[in-house]
Amino acid sequence: MALLPAQAGSGLTVFAIALVVAITVAGPTEASIQMSPVTQEVLISAGGSDSGTWSVKNSSAKTVEVAVNAVSFEDYLRGNRDALAPTWITLTPDRVTLFAGEDTTIAFTVNIPDSMTGERMLMVFFAEQPSGNGAVVQGRIGTAFYVMISGTLHPLLELVSIRHSRDIHGRSYFFLELKNPGNVHLRPRGEFVIYDSM
């Protein structure tokens, strides 16, 4: 789980889960496609280029067509999940047909503008395309894609509040509210050490 930078002026802490599964039509289904890795992180200089890959496998017993597209995280949050990809990323190929059990590689290339700073996040979707007519269940797997511009990152973390609670069995729970006022995602980890004040 990643703690994303707070939206400007919203005062909200936003959490993102790297793996998103969207079902177009409700109903029982088995996943036809698998992909890895589920998160990509690229640290790059402004004006630089980089590339990498995902592995995609058809784990079903039928032939599937998979479409690949990238959506800015801002568009994703607004529900515009079919928006065009930013111009600085290219996905190749953006559509592929896989026979039962077949796997392939999808490549990405990023060409970062000289003026880009901070971090950009995309959701990259791998969507099984419907075949034939009629209502179908369409699975879509999303992966988080982070591009971080070196020399311009400001990681910050604030503890907004902490509270303690006990359940009906007397077990203690601590709840933390964290805020990321920086410009890059964080994955905070830590531990509580409780001392006897006596």
**Residue 13 forms part of a structural domain:** yes
Beta strands in the chain (DSSP E): 2-4, 14-16, 20-23, 33-36, 39-44, 49-58, 64-72, 89-92, 95-98, 103-111, 119-129, 139-149, 158-166, 172-179
pLDDT, tens digit (0-9, with 9 covering 90-100), for 97-106: 999 999 999 9
Poorest-pLDDT segment among 27-31, 67-71, 181-185: 27-31
- Of 8-17, 56-65, 100-109, the range with the highest mean pLDDT is 100-109
Region 109-123 average pLDDT? 94
Indicate whether 83 pLDDT > 50.
yes
**Residue 136 forms part of a structural domain:** yes
**Residue 112 forms part of a structural domain:** yes
pLDDT, tens digit (0-9, with 9 covering 90-100), for 172-187: 888 889 999 998 988 8
Determine the pLDDT at residue 50: 97
CB atoms closer than 10 angstroms to residue 165:
9
**Residue 69 forms part of a structural domain:** yes
Residue 42's domain spans which residues? 2-149
Q: What is the pTM of this model?
A: 0.74
**Residue 185 forms part of a structural domain:** no
In total, how many domains does the chain have? 1
Between 79 and 70, residue with greater pLDDT: 70
**Residue 107 forms part of a structural domain:** yes
Region 76-85 average pLDDT? 84
Between 123 and 9, residue with greater pLDDT: 123
**Residue 167 forms part of a structural domain:** no
**Residue 171 forms part of a structural domain:** no
Q: How far apart are CA 122 and CA 115, in angstroms?
A: 18
What's the CATH number where 124 sits?
A: 2.60.40.10
Indicate whether 152 pLDDT > 80.
yes
Indicate whether 109 pLDDT > 90.
yes
Determine the pLDDT at residue 190: 80
